[in-house]
Structure 1
């Protein structure tokens, strides 16, 4: 006779098992709330300078626009995401066309001394801070934090939870997007070396030491999470990564392999092409191995205890190759979105043409590969196979274009009158998203800890819609408060 606790654990495991996902179209409509929210913010800022001075009211509106709307899109409005976007865009359009640009007195004040000098120096940076990148990464982190707890409530549709074997879902996309985003920012060192031709190349040993320093904290977090999960007998979905493997292990093993691939001599060739080729070599090579060696069948239906520890964690060990390819795809994108783009008119922007070109490349590559239009390769997050890699790359490069267009069309120098980079960046970025982005991994860790705390203290499966939304809103506010506190204290925690 099983105890109530044991029965509830079985219910929890069944709640996230054997799911088949939903359509890519619906996922795109749900995630569209992120760039739509940025449109609303951009209109409020460029037309009303609403967030120039930042107090409790601005904080509440910022949190509502950039966090609560994401929560609503993935829960109460999950069946009508287009309606939610229309409800958000309608007041934005009304404000834009019924108000004029704010007078100069309402814009950020820039002193003629320190700020101007700093702005001039900043303008010479090869890799300046870019508002659209911060918003993209911050929004992705907010969606991730929402999903990891919301998935434990009935208010979060099962089609958004991770798929068992084949199919697409919001959370499947979120895992890959997290890795893609990490790869994007890691391209900074590659771009610096490429643009500064006089700089000394980093030795293999130096590169590997740096990689190991990045890996160690993540691997420690992986073991800590493993000990906590096993220690409290937490409900697990074993087919997600394996018996012992978790997402922190995947993140932790990435840097050394990337450092190894970076040691391949490339000369002065375009790094975007180089890393795209590496992405395809890893992804296609892994797909061939899956199909020709029986690895695909073993991972999906094979005996978990056949090969000891490796077999017990077959999903995590096998899918690592796919996540490595996604990380490289992110690096490929970083090589062209991180450098300076001085174009004011988006129609004349070289970066926009480059971003559109590569987004189209990944979209058509995915269409040519997947099970409906192309080679018949279904998407599998569990395997992290070729179709999954291409889907993640296509989605994220398209999202980057969307955020870039919002910034260029609604928050350009012509629209806002803010000419200095340092001030323009602050003006164009929601403070909440800046905080989520600045300490992304630390915020993700906090979200995981709070998710565990909620699950061991509350029976989430028995919560109604009102109770669930209250808990999720409070949780999101707590995560946001930690992120904002770290940002306010000017702290950047590097894990």
Structure 2
């Protein structure tokens, strides 16, 4: 890559100040609204059953296309776009008054004990609202990591240099948070009993950590070898996001030892984020991360090393949400009090959690509170609370959509019937992207590198840029669906 063009590329993604919280919320709102429109099309018109080529095209348009235009050509008309997403929902409800989803069938008694075991409902059932949300977050992440290298992508959405909020700043934290949500499934499956010893837990965690660390090493060698444009203040000279993801499992295994003393992932995450913030504010750590000269290995990678503690706290907070969002909903009486509903229903718990996280976030940044600034580069306390608040209320919205559109989803008589219902209530593309999330993320990084090495992204017009981005996200979605259809799960 020519030296002048490389410098221009680096400047293109540097020095940004982000945008307002309302702006980020307005662009991200297109994701749950798209899920709402998809759900209404499926429940009222059976648009995606069977899943034909035309169904895939519409699914691609909704699950990927809307997010693409929201972050590019419609970025200055976000509320118009959101209105255009809501309008068809109202029209479909007016013209199709009754759902077309199949009615619940009465259960047949199992023939033997093996059949009875297979028919038994899972205590940790599939949750389409989580699948849809995690899939949509992966889609917007994949779009942003390439689109940011084109001029059509607004600079206010790009990662902030030091202080502020932006869409891509939230995307990084959301990736970690949603991974935390589903990672707790294995712990919930384990029967109550003695926790494995610390060495055993750490050794088991390395199975998940080593592939990511290898990927981080390969990325490091590739970037340096190809003289690829880098934004050094993002993670440092050698560190990258794969290293952050790779070191999380061993540290989570270590923190499980504290779970016996503080049996709450939420409290542990807040304690870690709080201690890290105290270190930032009461020592020269903050100044070291933001302004120190890069003279040794630590100072060269200070952003990645120290922000890791913030991302670890975010991961633990995601696990906290998973502990009550993943298990099966306990049946509630229709006349249950609102307080009972808030305390015992999954949606109620999500609403309460989102209110709490949002209140804590505003307390941290308020003039009458802590008066702190948000910094993804530091991954400080306000950033941690912002990520938790944002993801919790978005997941709550997705849960509310599922509760409204598919009220009988988890009232099936058998495990197989419930699985089929959940599959029909989930976007095939979002399901496929979620199933092989890390592999999809790796593919997106490889394609992003290929595009940047072969195309002058800063010199391309609107039409050619959109053509590249459409081809890129279609390739990712198509490969993900193909892997899902072939029943292939790539575990990294």
Instruction: Provide the TM-score with structure 1 as the length reference.
Output: 0.92
Q: Which of 359, 375, 399 pairs up with 1:364?
A: 359
**Helix, strand or coil at the partner of 1:53:** coil
Residue 398 of structure 1: how far off its partner (Å): 0.5
Q: Which moved more, 1:117-126 or 1:58-67?
A: 117-126
The CA deviation string for residues 187-227 of structure 1, in whole angstroms up to 9 with x for no partner, is: 1133234xx43x44323222111111111000000000001
Residues 144-159 of structure 1 mapped to structure 2, 5 A cutoff: 144-159=141-156
Name the CA distance, whole Å, in 1 between partners of 2:413 and 2:463. 43
Residue 452 of structure 1: how far off its partner (Å): 0.1
Partner of 1:301: 291
Change in Cα spacing, 1:163 to 1:124, as seen in structure 2 (3 Å) is same
Change in Cα spacing, 1:118 to 1:485, as seen in structure 2 (3 Å) is farther
Name the CA distance, whole Å, in 2 between partners of 1:66 and 1:416. 27
Residues 140 and 177 in structure 1, CA contact (< 8 A), matched pair in contact too: yes
Partner of 2:92: 95
Name the CA distance, whole Å, in 1 between partners of 2:167 and 2:195. 40
Q: Which of 235, 240, 258 pairs up with 1:241?
A: 235
Partner of 2:491: 494
Partner of 1:287: 277
Change in Cα spacing, 1:102 to 1:452, as seen in structure 2 (3 Å) is same
**Helix, strand or coil at the partner of 2:488:** coil
Name the CA distance, whole Å, in 2 between partners of 1:430 and 1:113. 32
Q: Which of 2, 5, 28 pairs up with 2:2?
A: 5
Name the CA distance, whole Å, in 2 between partners of 1:108 and 1:472. 42
Residue 481 of structure 1: how far off its partner (Å): 1.3
Change in Cα spacing, 1:414 to 1:130, as seen in structure 2 (3 Å) is closer
Name the CA distance, whole Å, in 1 between partners of 2:115 and 2:173. 37
Name the CA distance, whole Å, in 1 between partners of 2:360 and 2:80. 31
Partner of 1:189: 186
Partner of 1:143: 140
Change in Cα spacing, 1:218 to 1:90, as seen in structure 2 (3 Å) is same
Name the CA distance, whole Å, in 1 between partners of 2:423 and 2:413. 10
Computed over aligned residues only, the root mean square deviation of the Cα atoms, in angstroms, reads: 2.5
Residues 403-482 of structure 1 mapped to structure 2, 5 A cutoff: 403-413=398-408, 420-482=417-479
Name the CA distance, whole Å, in 2 between partners of 1:120 and 1:37. 37
Instruction: Provide the TM-score with structure 2 as the length reference.
Output: 0.93
Partner of 1:228: 222
Partner of 1:212: 206
Residues 409 and 418 in structure 2, CA contact (< 8 A), matched pair in contact too: no
Residues 119 and 422 in structure 1, CA contact (< 8 A), matched pair in contact too: no
Residues 160-179 of structure 1 mapped to structure 2, 5 A cutoff: 160-179=157-176
The CA deviation string for residues 168-196 of structure 1, in whole angstroms up to 9 with x for no partner, is: 00000000000001111111133234xx4
Residues 131 and 430 in structure 2, CA contact (< 8 A), matched pair in contact too: yes
Name the CA distance, whole Å, in 1 between partners of 2:71 and 2:284. 37
Change in Cα spacing, 1:40 to 1:372, as seen in structure 2 (3 Å) is farther
Residues 182 and 322 in structure 2, CA contact (< 8 A), matched pair in contact too: yes
The CA deviation string for residues 87-107 of structure 1, in whole angstroms up to 9 with x for no partner, is: 011011100121132557x67
Change in Cα spacing, 1:182 to 1:414, as seen in structure 2 (3 Å) is closer
Partner of 1:375: 370
Name the CA distance, whole Å, in 1 between partners of 2:38 and 2:187. 33
Q: Which of 391, 400, 412 pairs up with 2:395?
A: 400
Name the CA distance, whole Å, in 1 between partners of 2:124 and 2:37. 27
Residues 435 and 483 in structure 1, CA contact (< 8 A), matched pair in contact too: yes
Q: Which moved more, 1:441-450 or 1:122-131?
A: 122-131
Change in Cα spacing, 1:119 to 1:87, as seen in structure 2 (3 Å) is farther
**Helix, strand or coil at the partner of 1:145:** helix
Residues 435 and 489 in structure 2, CA contact (< 8 A), matched pair in contact too: yes
Residue 265 of structure 1: how far off its partner (Å): 5.0
The CA deviation string for residues 219-256 of structure 1, in whole angstroms up to 9 with x for no partner, is: 00000000110111000000000000000000111111
Partner of 1:328: 316
Change in Cα spacing, 1:152 to 1:442, as seen in structure 2 (3 Å) is same
Name the CA distance, whole Å, in 1 between partners of 2:410 and 2:86. 18
Does residue 338 in structure 1 map to residue 326 in structure 2? Answer: yes
Q: Which of 47, 52, 76 pairs up with 1:55?
A: 52
Change in Cα spacing, 1:49 to 1:372, as seen in structure 2 (3 Å) is farther
Partner of 1:262: 256
Name the CA distance, whole Å, in 2 between partners of 1:102 and 1:383. 48
The CA deviation string for residues 330-388 of structure 1, in whole angstroms up to 9 with x for no partner, is: 11111110111154879746212211111111100000001555311100000000000
Shift >3 Å, 4+ stretches: 106-114, 117-123, 342-349, 414-420
Q: Which of 11, 15, 18 pairs up with 2:15?
A: 18
Q: Aligned residues, how many?
A: 482
Name the CA distance, whole Å, in 2 between partners of 1:332 and 1:103. 36
